[in-house]
Amino acid sequence: MRVVVVGAGYAGTVAANRLARKAKTAEITVINPRPDFVERVRLHEQIAGTGTAATPLTSMLRRRITTRLDTVDKIGDGEVTFGGGSRLDFDYLFLTMGSTVTPLAGTLLVGTWEGAVRARDALAELPRAGMVTVIGGGLTGIETAAEIAFGRPDLQVTLVGRTIAASLSKGAQERVHTGLYRLGVEIIEDSVVHIDGGTERGGADTVCLQSNRQIASDLTLWAVIGSVPGLAGHSGLQVDAEGRATVDEYLRSVTDPRIFVAGDCAAVRGARAACATALPQGVHAADTLAHMVEGRDPIPYSMGYAGQVLSLGRRDGLMQASRRDDTALRLFIGGRTAAVGKERVCRYAKFGARTATYAWLRAPK
């Protein structure tokens, strides 16, 4: 049985390792554009210079898994085509290519490895009192602004978002504001309309906001993660409005049941783009294939959430408790305990991907 895994993020790595453990006869090939497993949850640390997000895939994948450094261009009928035109046949495929970022011109990306490397270099070159603007009021934007303010307290950091931490409870939102304030981050609740590039002319850029306010910025970071690569759609798989592949209750593409889809690129009702989602989906998809090979009936996928955790620099953070349907409860913890909790969550996610061991809650009834 030839199995191809497209993308070695959380979902792809855990799925490949789990399958290697459970389906001993499977020939597994993992395709990824780079030789490293990137912990996307640490990209803000990569940018701020407070941590590193890359680990060699050789230390993440089981020995009997083949790795091919390449990019899949198209998925066809039992074969994938690469950018250079070569092909690889499969009996089963795991589509785990994650999500991507569609940035505003004039910004550097937080959500991709290549963007984070460029942003880290640009940040390192900024002189004292340099102005950094982070666009995006979601958790990625908040973590990025906080991490930079923590790692480079000499810079002026501004966070711009239409709403800040909207997915958290009111009390937790206030705690996030307090944490950012303590780090010296200025918060502007507004939308960015466009960026007038001044850095090419030797000056600062101007970030133009919907309220007509303008802010000067030496480095502007785009921390909005929102789109999915077009691979599923242009390969003829059914996708939803965001381009995520539509799946059945076993996480198989509704167009081609040989294709399992997991992680940010899977359209699963009630699922949020998160490593906390990608890991259980990857495990479940691999188990489903292993069951099918043994002639057992597959089990429908079911997953519920417990909360969200975010870092506010290295010494502060926030843990928000939620109902299993992912709606926020009033309960949250802030401070150093939450910072330690967030660090443990990141380590557990990487450990889970490497060992293919991951536990999760079932969906609410």
Ligand X SMILES: Cc1cc2nc3c(=O)[nH]c(=O)nc-3n(C[C@H](O)[C@H](O)[C@H](O)COP(=O)(O)OP(=O)(O)OC[C@H]3O[C@@H](n4cnc5c(N)ncnc54)[C@H](O)[C@@H]3O)c2cc1C
Please say whether the beta carbons of 323 and 329 come within 8 A: yes
Residue 11 or 192: the one with the smaller Cβ distance to ligand X is: 11
Q: Site residues (CB under 6 A) for ligand X?
A: 6-12, 31-33, 38, 40-41, 43-44, 71-72, 96-98, 110-111, 140, 143, 225, 229, 231, 263-264, 273-276, 278, 309
- As measured in angstroms, the least distance from the Cβ of 262 to ligand X is 7
- As measured in angstroms, the least distance from the Cβ of 82 to ligand X is 8
Residue 134 or 215: the one with the smaller Cβ distance to ligand X is: 134
CA distance 123 to 127: 9
Please name which of 174, 122, 177, 166 lies closest in space to residue 148, comparing C-alpha atoms. 122
* Element housing 208 (H / E): strand 205-209
- As measured in angstroms, the least distance from the Cβ of 67 to ligand X is 11
- CA angle in degrees (0–180, nearest 5) for 317-320-325: 150
Residue 98 or 298: the one with the smaller Cβ distance to ligand X is: 98
- As measured in angstroms, the least distance from the Cβ of 233 to ligand X is 12
Instruction: Collect all residues with Cβ–Cβ distance below 8 Å to 170 and sequence separation of at least 6.
Output: none
The position carrying tokens 């407070």 is 50
Q: What values do phi and psi take at 262, rounded to 5?
A: -145, 150
Angle at which helices 336-355 and 10-22 pack, to 10 degrees? 40
CA distance 319 to 172: 9
CA distance 67 to 30: 5
- As measured in angstroms, the least distance from the Cβ of 143 to ligand X is 6
- As measured in angstroms, the least distance from the Cβ of 197 to ligand X is 24
What is the token pair recorded at 10?
A: 């959380």
Q: Closest CB to ligand X belongs to which residue?
A: 9
- As measured in angstroms, the least distance from the Cβ of 198 to ligand X is 27
Residue 24 or 34: the one with the smaller Cβ distance to ligand X is: 34
Residue 204 or 356: the one with the smaller Cβ distance to ligand X is: 356
Residue 278 or 290: the one with the smaller Cβ distance to ligand X is: 278
Residue 216 or 321: the one with the smaller Cβ distance to ligand X is: 321
Any bridge partners for residue 119, and if so which?
none
Any bridge partners for residue 209, and if so which?
192
Is 56 strand, coil or helix? Answer: strand
CA distance 290 to 40: 28
CA distance 249 to 300: 5
- As measured in angstroms, the least distance from the Cβ of 254 to ligand X is 19
Residue 159 or 204: the one with the smaller Cβ distance to ligand X is: 159
